[in-house]
Structure 1
Amino acid sequence: MVRKVGLTDSVGFACLEDLQLSNSYMWGTAISLDYCGREDCIKGWKFGPYVRESYVIHMVKKGKGTFTIAGKTYELGPGQAFIIRPGEETTYRADDDDPWSYMWVGFHGYRAEDFIEAMGYVKGSPIIKIEQMDTCAECINKMLEYSQITRINEVKRMSALMLLFATIMEDNASDAQESDNIEYPSKIYVKAAVDFITEKYMNKIKIDDIADFIGISRSHLTGSFKKEMGVSPQEYLINFRLEKAASLLRSSKEQINIIAYQCGYEDSLSFSKAFKQKFGMSPKSFRNLEVELETNDAKFGHEASKL
């Protein structure tokens, strides 16, 4: 089985996507790059309504457009950026007279909300400013440049992503400073739980074990997790184990039942069922999956090839 990581590079449009198929170092980590790109939009170009599975930040270099979320429409221009969170239905549209040129980056990870908060975003206010737009553009261009499916390029892309995040944080430091100086108990509990899972995921642990280790009730832990992560601790534990399993399937030649055991599954059938539910294929098919870079010279070329 072959899956394509798509690189489209044409006049006015460039996009590197489906990187989650090739990431080897980033499974189960704090942040992972899914896709990125840039576009000089045509007049009136509209995208949506659409619901994303990743977090996505769009940065407007020049021109104007509108962004609609939760029934509210925002007008944006150069030096502004809007955030889309997973599960949010959004629509955005280029201006009829002065269409925008923008860049975007899509990502996921258990620390995604922490990064977003540090950039100055707050829920209910999806717009922030960006003063160092040229630096942000360099970061996006570097990610596009490091398109080959190698571990070195994977790390280079992540380096460019971290520099992008740091640049946006720096531009909005005064906006985020107050929240940076406040410690929320729920965050402390969640961090302790994540550290526990990271160290003990291969063992037969239960959510009660994690709560007991931290010293809070299971219901308190669940509430803290849902507040900070958007998922329950049980969902996080399952997802973490499966992503670790995916990484081992790619990087080792161990038998699948051994990998299942190493990731906390004593029953290989239960493991296979859970793995297929998450990744859409069996562990065996995932191990045999070949990821190739497909280069296109037209917008939507990669998407059309998947149909």
Structure 2
Amino acid sequence: MITYMFKNTHFQELQLLHYGTEVCTPGHHFGPAMRDYYKIHYVLNGKGTFEVAGTTYHLRKGQGFLIVPHSVVHYQADLHDPWEYSWVAFQGTHSSSFLEQACLTEQQPIFDLGDEDDEMRSCLHRIIHSRTTHKGWEISMTGWLYQFFAILIDHAHTANLQPAVEHGKDMYVTQVMDFIEMNYANAITVQSIASHIGLQRSYLCSLFKDQIGSSIQSYLVHYRMRRAAELTMDLNLSIGDIARSVGYTDQLLFSKMFKKVMGEAPTHYRKKKAAASL
């Protein structure tokens, strides 16, 4: 077994607490008991069972399970083909968000990587052996923990899994808004937003409209026009400069959208605001 315990307050968003690998003896078990942090086990070989919230899951090579904080669990190696697994324990402000993107919850704690098994094994190997490679081992391990989640999130997207809990929808809406806030000046599309978040375009559009009452495209246009309206107060910027600053290379299209949202053309809007400020 290989395991290390450490706590580094520099990584508040995602913090690796401990990790390891264990070749279990037949019937080796943990619990029923709980943890006060998140922990994910990944089965490298063999078989075993995982029990949580009254449900028993039978697991094998290439599968894994999530333990959430303060949830009573029990897991046990098979009597005839005991499992070997690696694990990572973690906490941080991004933990719940990443897990929801990976569609992992207490109600849906199991994942099956299938063809992505080699990628996950390589990632876990990097985490476990990063400490012995160089002086920047804490940064390196945290980076590989992000990669660990990237594999799980990509798998959920490829397998077309959907969030198992309602509050996950709020998280996706927030992610859309945050993405637009950070990227409205670029040539982004609804498809690029969906790809970034890791959901199907049609599902994300439906979810966003149900929660907000507006389409993603409409929200993006209105956000850009509000920012453009603010920029009209800077007289050093031409209308073309403003258009490009909010993601439009076509000034005529920008002016058309500005008038549609703000009620008047950007030049008239600027003159009216300038006169009002005198």
Q: TM-score of the superposition, structure 2-length normalised?
A: 0.56
AA aligned to 1:137 is: R
Is 1:147 aligned to 2:138, yes or no?
Answer: no
Alignment partner for residue 150 of structure 2, among 129, 154, 166? 166
User: How has the CA–CA distance of structure 1 residues 96 and 183 changed in structure 2, closer, same or farther, with 3 Å as cutoff?
Assistant: closer
Paired AA for residue 117 in structure 2: M
Relative to 1, partners in 2 of residues 1:119 and 1:14: Cα closer, same or farther, differing over 3 Å? same
Distance 1:136 1:66 in 2: 20
Change (3 A) 1:70 1:121: same
Pair 1:56 & 2:39 matched? yes
Among 56, 81, 92, which residue is 2:64 paired with? 81
Relative to structure 1, the CA distance from residue 19 to residue 151 in structure 2 (aligned partners, 3 Å threshold; closer, same or farther) is farther
- Partners of 1:186 and 1:117 lie apart in 2 by 9
Gapped runs of 5+ residues in structure 2? 179-278
Hey, what's the Cα distance between the residues in 1 that align with 2:37 and 2:81? 28
Superposition RMSD in Å: 2.8
Equivalent residue, structure 2, for 1:107: 90
Q: Is 1:116 aligned to residue 73 of structure 2?
A: no
Higher Cα Rg: structure 1 or 2? 2
> 1:262 corresponds to which residue?
none
Q: Partner of 1:242 in structure 2?
A: none
Q: Structure 1 residues 179 and 120 mapped into 2: Cα distance closer, same or farther (>3 Å)?
A: closer
Find out whether 1:72 has 2:55 as its counterpart: yes
* Cα distance change on mapping 1:188 and 1:170 into 2, 3 Å: closer
Which SS does the other structure have where 1:154 is aligned?
helix
Deviation at 1:64, TM superposition (A): 0.6
CA deviation string 1:258-283 (max 9, x = no partner) = xxxxxxxxxxxxxxxxxxxxxxxxxx
1: CA distance, partners of 2:160 / 2:18: 26
Q: Distance in 1 between matches of 2:69 and 2:100?
A: 15
CA distance in 1, matches of 2:39, 2:171: 27
Matched residue of 1:146: which SS?
Answer: helix
* 1:190-247, Cα deviation, whole Å (9 max, x unpaired): x99xxxxxxxxxxxxxxxxxxxxxxxxxxxxxxxxxxxxxxxxxxxxxxxxxxxxxxx
Tell me, yes or no, if the aligned pair for 2:52 and 2:71 is still in contact at 8 Å.
yes
CA 1:184/1:38 → structure 2, altered by over 3 Å: closer, same or farther? same
For 2:170, the aligned partner's letter is Y
Does structure 2 retain, via aligned residues, the 8 Å contact 1:66–1:93? yes
The question of 1:157 aligning with 2:145 is answered: no
Gaps of 5+ in 1: 1-12, 193-307
User: What count of residue pairs does the alignment treat as equivalent?
Assistant: 173
Q: Is the 8 A contact 2:103 2:162 kept in 1?
A: no
Q: Could you report, residue by residue, the CA deviation over 1:7-52 in whole angstroms, capped at 9, with x for unpaired residues? A: xxxxxx2112x211xx1421xx221111111111111111112211
The residue identity in structure 1 corresponding to 2:6 is L
1:41 aligns with 2:24: yes
